[in-house]
Amino acid sequence: MPKANPKFDFTRIDRRTARVTPALIDAVRDRIIEHLLPEKIILFGSRVKGKATPDSDIDLMIVLNNNHPLSGVKQRDRFGAVLDLFHYRSFGLDAIVLTDAEVEKNRRENEGEWDLVLEILEEGMVIYDRTQTENKRASSTTRARMVPQG
């Protein structure tokens, strides 16, 4: 039986004292998915490189659909929308929020040169991908239909 993720109270006023655990990263991911409906979330930085300390923050790249309501908003305001989901967090959080088109533009224009977005795409860990999640759901629904009902 899978172990349930503990619930985190993101409304509790606290100092930045929480230890970032895999369960906390899952809770942050789930809250972003619930409120922002991203295409993809990629964890990067010290947590992926195995160099995290107890004070290390959570570094995320969040990719939104080109038609997302935040797509016409400046990147710093998109980051503000992410922080608004965690007003009283007790952990460090940094996020780059881009649209699909911005990610593709970065790929095209910076090929062969160092670029943070390209590094994240190459070395980061995808912790959510909407298309893979939808494919898994469709696949399990198809399998469920194929099981003889008896």
Higher pLDDT, 105 or 4: 105
Query: Average pLDDT of 31-44?
Result: 98
Query: H or E segment at 128?
Result: strand 125-129
* The token pair that represents 129 in the structure block: 């991908």
* The token pair that represents 108 in the structure block: 């095209």
In the predicted structure, residue 13 carries a pLDDT above the cut 50: no
Of 132, 140, 64, 131, nearest to 97 (Cα)?
A: 64
User: Apex CA 97: angle with CA 132 and CA 124, to 5°?
Assistant: 55
pLDDT at residue 14, rounded to an integer: 47
Report which DSSP code applies to 99.
E
Q: Are 71 and 65 in contact (CB under 8 A)?
A: yes
* The token pair that represents 25 in the structure block: 């990263």
CA 126 to CA 8: how far, in whole Å?
22
What is the percentage of the chain residues whose pLDDT exceeds 90? 58
pLDDT at residue 107, rounded to an integer: 87
CA 110 to CA 15: how far, in whole Å?
39
In the predicted structure, residue 2 carries a pLDDT above the cut 80: no
Average pLDDT, the chain: 83
Higher pLDDT, 7 or 1: 7
Q: Helix, strand or coil for residue 127?
A: strand
The correct CATH number of 22-146 out of 1.10.760.10, 3.90.650.10, 3.30.460.10, 3.50.50.60 is: 3.30.460.10
Domain assignments of the chain as residue spans, ordered by start: 22-146
